Structure formats: structure tokens, C-alpha cells
Structure 1
Amino acid sequence: MGRWGTAALAALALVATACSPGSAEPATSDEASTSATRTPRITDDSGRPPVTFDPCYDIPDDVMTAAGYDAAKKELADMPMGTYTFLGCTYHDDNEIAGISLGYSLNILAGNVTLDEELENNAHIATPLFINGRRTLLEVDPGRRNTCKYVVETRFGLIMLTRIYHPDYPGSAPIEEWCTGLEELTTSIEPFIPT
């Protein structure tokens, strides 16, 4: 996953709080596509660009709902790391049987590390591609079962969409199922990311 990906996901697990992010109203698709660049909630002392895209605020709830995620239960986290920053949002689809999550868990992180740094860390599992004309990496690590990640380049750094598939049977799903539908979700979110 790379040094900041691991640290950011660990921090997300530790500091995630229930999101109805403050008193802010959730953005609709029309509002998000016409809104001005957001002032970052947090900054770091690295000299890197501020993270001006906040996944919990800047991805419209209706886009996530259409993709099968319960936007009303999203969670956010501030992750100042000193030398870089990640703003994160976690989503789950709404499938659960006897207290066991089924379906998908999704973390979306906006960070001020570069796509080239991410590629340098994860070249062994990364496939470069383009989504809506934007440089992107697809990362599938056979050692992290049921996990798929798309990393999209931004002007401040990158957006990571990391999804874990929770199948309704024991063990790992076939690797070819790990990324099913995640490229389509990434494609639907990309227009809301500042260029």
C-alpha cells in the first residue's frame, strides 16, 4: 500500500467520527460541480499544496447513493501527518447479516502526495491508466485479499479509492472480482475533483 497509504488508513481507523459533517448540507451533483474550491479543514507544515478536495463534503451524496453506498452513514477523519495530509471519508454499502458486513467498505482519501510518489512506492502492484483523461493508477495487491484501489492524480496530489469486498462466503473472493464496479465509481467521482 505504501508508507502514507498504510499510515493514512491506520489514522482513519483511529480518528473516524460519525459524519453528518458538522452543520454543512450535503452537496448535490449540481452544487458540487459549480462550487468554488474549498478552504482546507487542515494543513500540514510540509510546504506541499493544501488538500482542497474533501471527500465527505465534495462528493455528492446522490452520486454515492446511486453507487450503492449509504451516504447518511459516511464517516470522516482529519489526518495531518506533519509532512503530508490526508482528508478521508469511509462508506459502507448497506448489506449485513447477523452482524457481519457483506458487500463493500470504501475509503476515499484526498492527499497531498503525488501520483509519482505513489507509483514509486507501489510500482510492483500498480497499472497506469487514464480515467476521463486524468492520470490514474489501478493497484491490486494479491497479498491484501479482496482489496482494490484506484489512485487519481489531482493538482494538489491524489485521491485514493480503496475498497474491500466482503463476500457472503468464507475466504477470499476470486481476484478478478475485487475491482468489479470500482472503475465506474471512480469515473463518476472524477468530474467533482478540481482540475
Structure 2
Amino acid sequence: MRNHTALGASLICGMALAACSPTTPTGSPSEADPKVAIVSPVAPAPSQPSGGRQPVAFDPCSKIDDAVPAALGFDPTTRKRGDFVFDDYAFIGCQFSRKEAVRGQPLEVGTLTISSTNITLDEMRARNYEGARPTTVNAREALFSTSRAAEACNIAFTGPDATIDVRVDSSAAFTDWVGCDHIDEAARTVEAALPSK
């Protein structure tokens, strides 16, 4: 099974001076908002070095209700951390799996990743991601990008920190369901669940 990552993680790794690897947090489940329904809580977000930017404060793994992935066809009980922390910026993320019966076995055929980052939309534009084009998500300014190699699409839009990145991917080897066909709906659904601007 492929390793699903946050927006342009492979590109980010190529540009970052620091080592690029997912951060594995330890400890008890994160403190979820009592108004947010989460059946399978996960560990808290990892610590972030103070490299001049404001640390990411919005944690999708503790602030995004199970109803969001469920509405998009992803299993909320598969909630897991998907963080990438660097010397001077971070993606604090949460991943959910879509499963289907493949040759009689339930297999992961797609992933939804929701990340909050302290990289601005202007900085993302400057990185010139594959297939990048401007768009909007509800009333928020946004940037669409794609990764054909990873069968993934992303939409990043202004959020509680600097941007929220929503990524949907799929595996054509296992399913006819195409993640990129659902990226607009995923971004709109996530945006609607965010705190008011």
C-alpha cells in the first residue's frame, strides 16, 4: 500500500534543507473539542520548533468531527496522524481511509488527508506545484494542484493558521473510484467544518 502524504510532500522534501520524515507523536489521545464527535481519538500533535513562524495551532485530528470524513465516504475509525514538521514550518495533519472489498478482502483504496500549515497560500503558489491553478472553496481563496504519480489532488485554502490543505488520493489498481473526482466536494465539506473566519 502506498504511503499517502500531505500536499506536495515529495516536493517539500526536495526543497527543504532539514530532513523530511513524518513525525510520530507519542502520548495520550489529543484533547478534542467536546462539541466535536470523535470515535477513535489519536495522540496529540507533535511539538514544533520555533523557527520564526507562529506554530500551527489548529489540529485537524482533534478539531474535525467524524461526520466530515463519513460524509465523503471515508471511515472515521481509521483516523490517524499525518504530520510533517520541519525546522521552520509544519503540516499538522489527519488521515482517513476509504475501504472497499477487493477480491473478497477489505482494502484501502483511497485516503483523505486534512492538514493545517503555517505556509501561506502565496508561498504555495511560489512553489509551482504540478497542475497548480487558482480556485475558490466556498468564499475562500484557494489553490488546486495534482500529483499524477500519486493519483492525488489537493486544494489548499486560507485557514485558521495560514492554510488548510485537503488531499484526496486513490489507487486505480484496486478501485474505479477516482479520488480527484471528489476533491472539490472534500474541500467544501472541510471548509464548512472550520471555525468562523
Q: TM-score, normalised by structure 1?
A: 0.73
- Write 1 or 2 for the structure with the bigger share of helix: 1
Summarize the Cα distance change of 1:46–1:89 in structure 2 as closer, same or farther, 3 Å threshold.
same
Alignment partners' CA distance in 1, 2:24 and 2:151: 24
Question: Who is 2:29 aligned against?
Answer: 22
Q: 2:51 aligns with which of 31, 42, 46?
A: 46
* C-alpha contact 1:165 1:178 (8 A) present in aligned 2: yes
Alignment partners' CA distance in 1, 2:170 and 2:34: 27
Alignment partners' CA distance in 1, 2:25 and 2:48: 18
* C-alpha contact 1:42 1:78 (8 A) present in aligned 2: no
* C-alpha contact 1:26 1:61 (8 A) present in aligned 2: no
Q: CA RMSD in A?
A: 3.5
Alignment partners' CA distance in 2, 1:25 and 1:54: 9
Alignment partners' CA distance in 2, 1:5 and 1:55: 25
Which amino acid is the alignment partner of residue 52 of structure 1? A
Question: Who is 2:158 aligned against?
Answer: 153
Question: Who is 2:186 aligned against?
Answer: 185
3-state SS in 1 of match to 2:62:
helix
Question: Who is 1:136 aligned against?
Answer: 142
Question: Who is 2:78 aligned against?
Answer: 73
Q: TM-score, normalised by structure 2?
A: 0.73
- Per-residue CA deviation, residues 36-89 of structure 1 (Å, 9 max, x unaligned), is xxxx86333122122121111111111211211111111014443121122111
Alignment partners' CA distance in 1, 2:68 and 2:99: 15
Question: Who is 1:3 aligned against?
Answer: 12
How many percent identity over aligned positions? 24
Alignment partners' CA distance in 2, 1:90 and 1:147: 14
Give, in angstroms, the shift of residue 145 of structure 1. Answer: 4.4
Taking the TM superposition and a 5 Å limit, the aligned residue runs for 1:101-180 are 101-122=107-128, 125-142=131-148, 144-167=149-172, 177-180=178-181
Which amino acid is the alignment partner of residue 15 of structure 1? T
3-state SS in 1 of match to 2:154:
strand
Gapped regions of structure 2 (runs ≥ 5): 1-7, 39-44
Summarize the Cα distance change of 1:27–1:168 in structure 2 as closer, same or farther, 3 Å threshold.
farther
Summarize the Cα distance change of 1:27–1:94 in structure 2 as closer, same or farther, 3 Å threshold.
farther
Alignment partners' CA distance in 2, 1:125 and 1:27: 39
- Report the number of matched residues: 178
3-state SS in 2 of match to 1:179:
helix
3-state SS in 2 of match to 1:118:
helix
Gapped regions of structure 1 (runs ≥ 5): 33-39
Which amino acid is the alignment partner of residue 48 of structure 1? R
3-state SS in 2 of match to 1:87:
strand
